Amino acid sequence: MDLISLDDIKNAEKNLKGVIKKTELDWSRTFSKMSGNEIYLKLENLQRTGSFKIRGAYNKICSLTDEEKQNGVVAASAGNHAQGVALAAAKMGIKSTIVMPEGAPIAKINATQGYGADVILKGESYDEAHKEEERFSCENGAVIIPAFNDIDVIAGQGTIGLEILEDLPDVDIVITPVGGGGLLSGVAAALKELNPDIKVIGVEAANAACMAESMKLGCPAHLKNVDTIADGIAVKYPGELTYKIISEYVDEIVTVEEEEIAHAISLLMERAKLIVEGAGATTLAAVLNNKIKVKGKKIAAVLSGGNIDLDIISTIIDRGMIKAGRRISFETSLYDKPGALRDLLDVISRTGANVISVVHDRLTPDISLKHAQVQVTLETKNEDHVKDILTTLENNNYRVKRTR
């Protein structure tokens, strides 16, 4: 294929020397056991700026002429590409302007500004931000640094493939997230040019599966809506260039559901001590939910980024605790007399549960004037423990309604 060459990627590797980290390819005992494969995590969540995007952004800016650099650069991004462009421009002393969707995570907005970029918030998605990027470029002469649909950007991302092969020459399968396709197309080109036998798989959020749809149709597909916690890959329309490269090199595109992504984020925090954003966690989600139907293979899963809002982490933790039976909320009513609440808590204490919160409300109009409604949240061990607690309460004449 003449769209991108191995030399393009190797030249990008030279440009990036001393600028990026060569991130670790970390073998996971836990996820290997859970999946029945040998799982290696490519830790791009620990890359400079918190994601792989610095690779492509820096390589692209290296290609600019002196005249182009004087006019500054502009980029549209949900956040990670923004930070990559901002840092790359700052290192070269170039002015950068970043257009981000209005709903972009606050952490990514703040980080982008922290690298010295001017930030414009425009539109509800990457695609709408891209239109503003084009308008800004026309009016100000700034050079657009594409998020994915550019050879220099793709080549920069492809350096991840070179690093994986250097650390694990006998890898069987490499999995990367895919939104617009820059990461997947670059990694696939690098790997397939060096070893065509390696299987390369892309993973999308089911609610933003533009590349999977494109593969079905045989041409780039345009989605009407995207809605996913994997904001880094929430793209409505893939790149024409990335689509062609992926069509040539990639073996399969699979999708994962929102709950699967959230669970993978939770597992990475708890079992691997890694903070990974939604897009980055899609690869592990695919492995653990049997979207890639293999056993006994050496699999490298690219964790593409770690820039995630604390609010999202908090919600994922809470929901994950409930799903795992490690937290329960219920309500019951008590006769409104001294000692009634103490008696309830005594019963709970005998079950070994830990009380997180208690809300005692005697004013709610739905119960008798002589009663009070009590809402209790408990920390529990597992779902069997939850069942034992509910049974114990019922055996002690408490009528309990589980709320979570």
Per-residue pLDDT at 153 exceeds 90:
yes
Task: Name which of 22, 51, 157 is nearest 112 in CA terms.
Answer: 51
**pTM of the predicted structure, to 2 decimals:** 0.88
The 327-335 sheet, strands edge to edge: 354-361, 371-379, 327-335, 401-402
Rounded Cα gap, residues 91 and 226, in angstroms: 34
Establish whether domains 6-52+150-319 and 326-402 are of one fold.
Answer: no
Q: What are the tens digits of pLDDT across the range 129-149?
A: 889 999 999 999 999 999 999
Q: Which residues pair with 93 in a beta bridge?
A: none
User: 298 versus 314: which is more confidently predicted?
Assistant: 298
Rounded Cα gap, residues 162 and 165, in angstroms: 5
Q: Considering the candidates 42, 53, 60, 108, report the single residue annotated as catalytic.
A: 53
The residue type found at 285 is: A
Active site residue 53: yes
Fold of 55-144: Rossmann fold (3.40.50)
Per-residue pLDDT at 404 exceeds 90:
no
Cα atoms in the 13 Å half-sphere on the side-chain side of 313: 15
The separation between the first and the last C-alpha atoms of the chain, rounded to the nearest angstrom, is 54
Using CB atoms within 10 Å of the CB of residue 237, give its burial: 0 to 12 exposed, 13 to 18 middle, 19+ buried.
Answer: buried
DSSP 4-25: S-HHHHHHHHHHHTTTS----E
Q: Would you state the pLDDT for residue 251?
A: 98
Instruction: Output DSSP code: residue 290.
Output: T
Per-residue pLDDT at 367 exceeds 90:
no
Domain ranges for the chain: 6-52+150-319, 55-144, 326-402
SS3 label, residue 332? strand
Q: What are the tens digits of pLDDT across the range 72-83?
A: 999 998 778 999
Rounded Cα gap, residues 148 and 289, in angstroms: 28
Active site residue 60: no
pLDDT (average), residues 36-49: 97
Q: What are the tens digits of pLDDT across the range 231-276?
A: 889 888 899 999 999 999 999 999 999 999 999 999 999 999 999 9
| Band of pLDDT at residue 9, cut at 50, 70 and 90 | very high
Q: Would you state the pLDDT for residue 324?
A: 83
Using CB atoms within 10 Å of the CB of residue 366, give its burial: 0 to 12 exposed, 13 to 18 middle, 19+ buried.
Answer: exposed
Q: Would you state the pLDDT for residue 230?
A: 93
Domain boundaries 6-52+150-319, corresponding CATH code: 3.40.50.1100
Q: Considering the candidates 28, 35, 51, 304, report the single residue annotated as catalytic.
A: 304
| Band of pLDDT at residue 43, cut at 50, 70 and 90 | very high
Share of the chain above pLDDT 70, in %: 100
Q: Would you state the pLDDT for residue 1?
A: 53
User: Which of the listed CATH numbers 3.30.565.10, 3.40.50.620, 3.30.70.260, 3.40.50.720 matches domain 326-402?
Assistant: 3.30.70.260
Using CB atoms within 10 Å of the CB of residue 399, give its burial: 0 to 12 exposed, 13 to 18 middle, 19+ buried.
Answer: exposed
- Three-state SS for 110-153 is HHHHHCCCEEEECCCCHHHHHHHHHHHHHHHCCEECCCCCCHHH
Q: Worst-scoring range by mean pLDDT, 128-132, 218-222, 343-347, 392-396? A: 128-132
pLDDT (average), residues 333-357: 93
User: 31 versus 129: which is more confidently predicted?
Assistant: 31
Q: What are the tens digits of pLDDT across the range 193-216?
A: 999 999 999 999 999 999 999 999
- Distance from chain centroid for Cα 389: 36
pLDDT (average), residues 283-306: 97
Q: Would you state the pLDDT for residue 29?
A: 97
Per-residue pLDDT at 189 exceeds 90:
yes
